[in-house]
Amino acid sequence: QVQLVESGGGSVQAGGSLKLSCTNSGRTFSSYDMGWFRQAPGKEREFVAGIRWSGNTTYYAASVKGRFTISRDNAKNTVYLQVSVLKPEDTAVYFCAAGSVVGIASKPAEFGSWGQGTQVTVSS
């Protein structure tokens, strides 16, 4: 069973950085592909970054590529999202998600387990 808890959000000025963490308190974390999504008020949840179960493959939304980095430590049951060069439009609640997928997954429906989210607020 996967139980995800995000942390690391906060308020920063434009250009700043944060490191988000998502820890699984359940078992078998290493067998899941993981993703980060975000949702701003009044908008749909959107894909940010994903990482395959092995950690060997990562992929990003075009809007964050080059600024955000996803990584995982299976020994610590944790996936990370380093967010840098933040912009006001990055303001959102950030969610991590776990799924057993084949290939690259970027749609919310492809992930079966979700955390509660952590707020990131970027001021100009």
28 pLDDT more than 90:
no
Q: One-letter amino acid identity for 106?
A: S
Q: In 3D, which of 93, 98, 112 has the Cα closest to residue 8? A: 93
Q: How confident is the model at residue 10 (pLDDT cuts 50, 70, 90)?
A: very high
> Would you state the structure tokens that stand for residue 112, as one six-digit string?
């079966």
Write out pLDDT tens, residues 30-40: 889 999 999 99
Residue 26 has pLDDT above 80, yes or no: no
Phi, psi of 75 (to 5 degrees): -65, -25
pLDDT digits (tens, 9 = 90+) for 67-89: 999 999 999 999 999 999 999 99
> Using CB atoms within 10 A of its CB, is residue 12 exposed (0-12), middle (13-18) or buried (19+)?
middle
Can you give the pLDDT at residue 69?
Answer: 98
